[in-house]
Amino acid sequence: MPTIAVNRDELFKRLGRTYTEEEFNDLCFEFGIELDEVTTEKQFKAKELGINQTTIMDQEEEIIYRIEIPANRYDLLCLEGLARALNIFLERSTIPKYKLSEPSSNHQNELIVLPNTQKIRPFVVGAVLRGVNFTKLSYNSFIDLQDKLHQNICRKRTLVAIGTHDLDTIQWPFYYDAREPESIEFIPLKQTRKI
């Protein structure tokens, strides 16, 4: 089963209350997930990098919960999704309803798929999400979720590749094209340098 690492205090804030470790462990059991490990940010980074935690100076001592989730619950792969699901389970909130709007017919918001993509990726989907404002924490969580999706359901990008762009920094129309990897340049989200 996949394991996610979430900041305990941020999770509790989103759940609207503080839990003891035993209470949270019970909640996880009732919901069908498992609290696998309780660690600190420093210990987690050291373990991830395979080094002694005393060499990591810039990490705070925030408590991190490592939680095992079912392999078919991609919505639980991030702090936001886990908190939403637990709040719905606890009947503190309802299932969200998302509104799908048709794009305007003036061809301003157009995604043009070039024919040479057929052999590599025959399908493409585009969406514009409005009203999204990232904090440092939510941005890192979003990128982590995107990476987990790439590694799991997207089969290391062999089936699906997700591209995310800040609509305020780019212009329509968008072109979906297949090119040699060395000819591709872009500026990653929230970055300033081309890669």
Q: With beta carbons less than 8 A apart as the criterion, state whether 5 and 64 touch.
A: yes
**From start to end of the chain, where are the E strands?**
3-7, 34-40, 63-68, 111-113, 174-176
**Does 151 score more than 70 pLDDT?**
yes
pLDDT category at 25 given cuts 50, 70, 90 is: very high
| Domains in the chain: boundaries | 3-89, 111-183
pTM, to two decimals: 0.78
Render 77-117 in DSSP notation, one character per residue. Answer: SSHHHHHHHHHHHTTSS----PPP-PPPTTSSS-EEEPGGG
> Hey, what CATH topology would domain 3-89 get?
Phenylalanyl-tRNA Synthetase; Chain B, domain 1 (3.30.56)
Q: In what order do the strands lie in the sheet with 63-68?
A: 3-7, 63-68, 34-40
Q: What is the mean pLDDT of residues 101-110?
A: 74
pLDDT category at 171 given cuts 50, 70, 90 is: confident
pLDDT tens, position by position, 106-123: 667 788 899 998 888 888
pLDDT tens, position by position, 35-90: 999 998 776 666 666 666 555 555 568 899 999 999 899 999 999 999 999 999 99
State the Cα–Cα distance between residues 26 and 11, nearest whole angstrom.
15
